[in-house]
Chain A
């Protein structure tokens, strides 16, 4: 059973467009992280959200943690080709130490 479902699974957009990626679960997480991964490389941490309702911004990326700490979203404004990659959310369950459950992934392609 996949605890974290991401949508959409694939997304192909033009440069300059905005997009939102969703990460949903029926389980509560003590923290949730977003990663970007490029082919043949390990995932790179973008942000960690901990508090329900928390919003964090990283340049053109805005991350939100749901009030109930069961879901999260990633919004990218004015996407650029450099944003292309696999975006992964990952959650840490309460009492699970720092063991992570990864989401199903969203493959983003931004074209000129």
Chain B
């Protein structure tokens, strides 16, 4: 149980276009989902926390108008990278949890975004 999927696994887009990444909890209801960004050979950096039905909370330095997060249901959150540029190329990972202190996060397999 506790499976999280991401789609697409890889995407290549042209500079200036927008890309949407989906994160789904397949066998549980995720009250909270997290979006991370990871550069090669580096750790995960939290971008934002989203709770179902409310606005996402962004970490300091993350542009909320550039990285649009929607958590419209208990099994789906989306991250849209708007007006993508080459520097947005990265590995984006989501995680999902039922929320609350000490509750485990379940991680998706990640999405590799390349902006040309």
Contacts and interface: CB of A to CB of B under 8 A. Distances in A.
Interface of A: 30-31, 35, 40-45, 48, 50, 86, 88, 90, 92, 95-105, 107
A48 B93 contact: no
A97 B100 contact: yes
Contact of A98 (B36, B93, B97, B112): B97
Contacts, number: 64
Given A41-B109, A43-B44, A98-B102, 5 more contacts: A88-B44, A98-B32, A99-B46, A102-B36, A105-B42
A105 B43 contact: yes
Given A42-B108, A42-B109, A42-B110, A98 B43 contact: no
Nearest to A94: B101
Interface in B99-114: 99-105, 107-110, 112
Interface residues of B, number: 28
Interface in B34-81: 34, 36, 41-46, 49
Interface of B: 4, 6, 32, 34, 36, 41-46, 49, 91, 93, 95, 97, 99-105, 107-110, 112
Nearest to A88: B43
A75 to B, nearest CB: 20
A104 B43 contact: yes
Given A88-B44, A92-B102, A105-B42, A99 B108 contact: no
A33 to B, nearest CB: 8
